[in-house]
Every structure is written in C-alpha cells, then in structure tokens.
Structure 1
C-alpha cells in the first residue's frame, strides 16, 4: 500500500469554508498545519491547527514548506491550483506520492459561466506575475479574453495598454472577489474606465474590439513589427527560414547573430512550449532584441550578449540553430563538433565569402543549398520595373 501524501493542496474560492468539498474539509480537519496567503487564511477564520502565512516573494515559501516534510500540511491556493496557480510550482519540488490536489471551480470557469462564454474558445491568461504584453500576439477584434491580474491597479494598466494598441473600444467586465461576499462586478469600455479603485483579487473579461493591428498568424510578419537598425532578416526570407527551421513543440532554438531578434521571436510565436536563445555581440542590438521580444509578448526569449562560438559554451542544447550573422569557418566547425546528432542547422549567406563557406560546408556535411532571389516593383521613370535585392544562399542540414 502506498504511503499517504503529507501535503494536500486545496483550491479555495472566495466563499471560504462554504465552497469546500467534503474531501477538502476532511483534509483540513485532519491536518497539523495550514499554510497560505493571509487573504486565504482569513477566508477560513479561526482554525484549530497551526497556521503559517505564505511569505512574499512566493519562492521563499517553497523552502519553508519543504522543511515541514513528514508532517500533515495543507497549502491553500485559489480555485484550481493547476490553472495559472501555485500547484505546478509546488509539484516541481515534490515526488508524485508526496502530494494531492483538491480543486474547486477556477475563476476562468466562474467567469465563463457568468457571461455565457464557451471556455474552449476563450483565451485564459494568468498575468498576476507576468507582463501585460503577453496578450499582444492574440489581440484581434472578436477575441474573448479572461485574464487574472496582480492587483486592482493593474485593471487601469490593462485598459491603457488596450487603448495604446488600438483596442480602446474593448468591453471590459471587472470581477472583484468573485463568488464571495465582497463580490463586485463592473462593466465599461477600456477607453472609458471609471474613476474607481478595484480590490484584489481581480479578474477581467475582455471582449476585444477596435481598429488596432493584429499580429499575423503566419511566419514572416511584416518588418514593421520589429524595431531594427537595418540588420534584420527581411520578411520573405524570414518566412522561408522559419520553414527550413521547422519548429516542433518543446524545442529550443539558437539564433546566432540576432540583429533585431526577428527569427528567435517568430520561432517563439509559433507555439507556447518553444524556447529560444539569441546570441548577439553588440550590446545595443541585444537591448533592442529584448525590447522587441517584450513588445510582441515573448519575453521568455533569452538574449546573450557575446560573440559565437565562445558565447555558446554552457547554453542549454538546441534542437535547431540559425546563423544569420557572424558566419565563419570557425563557428561552423564548432557547431559541427559540439552539437548533438539530429540538430537542424540553417545558415543564410549574402556575401560571396560566406556563400563560399556554405558551398564548402554542404560538400562536407551534405544538406540542401538554395539560392533565393527576390525582386520588387518600383517606379522606373514614368513606368515601373523590377528591382532585385541581394540574393541569399541558404544551407539547411540535419547534423
């Protein structure tokens, strides 16, 4: 018979004890210690056992909790602990047999039921510990969004952000202390937020409306989405490059010679499980890459300031590598010698010198060479003609 878990994570609603399931009430009745935020402890009133207030920042409480291993402990969380809650963080530090989770209805479910929104087509985000820019890739008229915010002041921040993005006509429904005796619901447009103070815990449902620009879903977003100093893989070439890199869920990309960061950013926009590290030797460009990633909602992009291959040492191994700048024989040799078999490598060359490197690399390591030539129509006197850009030679190979 397996040993009973010493830790129980209980999802708590704003109605406190009234909303507890029989299993959650039983766990509370038999526990030695209840640990949780002050607000959650207050919802339960006086308890016969020891109580510990979870410290801020949250990470400090994890070690305190682990020191209680072997005693019967209940940790209080909001609603469903495994939907933008504390459950996943705690589970990473514990073996599966050490804990159990007893959830109640999540805030997302409560809001969807209040508004009659199908939850499967509604975007749900937890931004209580993340920047508001996480919503940017999704913003488009017709989107329904339910978002958890860190505090009442963040409601105005969200309204301002939507307005600046061109979606000030969005209908916002603010839920405070949803499901409890302090519940308050306020409806307004983002551009007409009332002069009022909102209280934590707060959740906002947004029916997005406005003339703001939506980020295209296809790879090869317009260059205007990326602040740059001219060092950027241009839109058509970027689309072909992302196709050659062929992102798969849970993969990690090295973008060597980031420039504006457009390749790494577009890689991350493909799927939320993807990771990317951009290596850029110039500090000003590295700062620009970080800003571009944040503005497009992929702040998880890691930016390393340094020159390759030296800056690659010690990085988490990639499944795909793109070389857009700083291509050299030394770099290619390092990659071939140090990357695991099966790693996909894509390199673009513009100059004759780097093109020669790729020709030689393809001869030794195989793969596919492709020459990309693009022309755009431009005025030519009273008529129009084709103006060709520099041709790009692209080498793609699986090592």
Structure 2
C-alpha cells in the first residue's frame, strides 16, 4: 500500500512538471523514435588532485549505468544528460560518521520535440532521476536537521558547544524496515530505499538505545536552552526600551529542555537500555521516543562502515530511491501524461540492482 501511494506521488510530480514546462504537448509534438545520445558531465570543478580523482571515479560509475541500463545505452526519443554534482557542507564534516566525499548523480531525459523554436528538445526541468554517493544523510528518508549555531543571533561563546550538540543529534535518524536482501552488498528497505555497500565491512547502520538518544537530545536542548534564555533576556530588554513590560506570567520562557528532561527521568532502567523507536504520538511526548517498538527504529550511521584505508574519493556507499513500475502503472502513466512514456519507471525496471555491489570500491 505504501509503495503504491509513493509511486502515485511520483506520477503526480511528473505530471506537474509536464504541465508546468511550457505545455509542450499543446504546441509541440514529441518525437519518440528519434535516436538520442548519452552525455556525461561533471559539475564538480574545484581545483586539486583529490577532486580530480573523485571525478574520475564518478565518471567510471556513470559509465556503468550507461552500459548496463538499456534506456541509457540506446536512448530513443530523448538525449540523456548525466551530471555529477558535489555536495559540500562544513557542518556535515563535523559528524564523526562521515568520511567519503559526497556526490549526486543525475540523469536528465531530454525529450525531442518537433517545435524547433523551442530548440527541438525539452531541456528545462525534463523528466529526471538522481541518487547519492557516500552520503550518510540519505537512504532512509528521515533526515535530522537540527540547526547548529546561528551567527545572526546566537552568543559566540556557545558556538562550539551548539555545533557539537547539533552534530550529535543529526547523527541519529529513523529507518524503514528491511524488505529484503537483493544480493551481497545490496539491501532494499521500505519506501523504496535501496542501499549499496561493502558487505565485508561492519553494518552501515547500528541501533541506538533509548538512553543514548535521550542523552543526545538533552545535550542539544541544554545548550539551546542557554542560547534561548540569553536571547529571551535580550528581547525583554529591547521591549523595556520601548516601555513595553509584559506580564511575566504570560511570557513564553524557554522550557523545552525541562520537558525533555522530565521525559528522560520517566523511563525505567530497562527501557533506557532497550532499542529506541520514534513515533510522533501524544503518548511519546516531545521527544517522540519509546522502548515498545512503536514507530521506526532509531539508528546511527556506523563510522566503522568506512574502509578508511581507501581514499575519501572512493565510492563506498550508495543510496537510491528504487521504484520499479508494474505493468498497470506503466499503462496508466501514458494517457495521464499526454502520451509520454514513464522513462523513470523504465529506468528502474531495467536497472540490474543485483549486480550493483560491484560498484563499491574495495581492497
């Protein structure tokens, strides 16, 4: 049921893109039989030998898809523009679990059109698909995004403490249940999350206990409480200069830390040592954490998953949204989208996922 709903969302988004992209079907005919070509381009242009080595590895990875997915090998009705993008983030580097350089590999299906006034090809927001390389924040669909220190308003004295606390909390995330092991080094989780990894390394995700996540939450909200309290006092001082003195009983003083602290203290010793689950319901309070198995398991990315004897430019972890289309879904797609085929669905259906383990660099 979840898969069907998710796939319908993909169809809806694809339909919106089609309608929003100059309504080409009303003024230009699609040319499905015109032979196309494959092009690869790297958008990672930073200087240095490290980036050059990473680009070389990404080009090899892209070429594997070119040679092993028929819709990319012999495109018809469109050109395939494949582009690699770098993902750089100083905050990301603060997390102990991160090692490899990150990238996104994107496939644009640039449909041929009869309208030469439009360039004869759909190049602006065409149907496309992308996936991630060496990105520990993907593959589960439940990214944490707790903000670190804000240089526009937070005290500089708490910069290091806030960034450290946020990095610790962003290390943790929820995962969908395992659907099946497709092949050594290839696992499929719920909601179409496909993970490609080195099966000879330790597990890429490791469980977190209730005690662990509650301590991390408390560490974060304790620093945040300090910052919010300082900013709150600044706000009161600013109001006082304007002769505005609200009733203290009706002002919202920071109190989130105390609420989570109370929830922590309410757990029994047995619960604190149990695997943590997250479920946003009233009974789980502000923290959403429980030890009863309700919701999704809370895990962290395992730093030991990386083979650190390999350079950071090596491809060691890949995460994809994998949603092969059923025959019925393919049949329904075409009339809904003015005669266009479901190129992304065809990509999934022909993707040899069982062979993808060879794409991971190993010693």
TM-score band w.r.t. shorter chain: under 0.3
What is the TM-score of this pair, normalised by structure 2?
0.21
User: 1 or 2 for the larger relative contact order (CA 8 Å, sep ≥6)?
Assistant: 2
What is the TM-score of this pair, normalised by structure 1?
0.20
**Larger strand proportion, structure 1 or 2?**
1
Quick check: which has more Rg, 1 or 2?
1
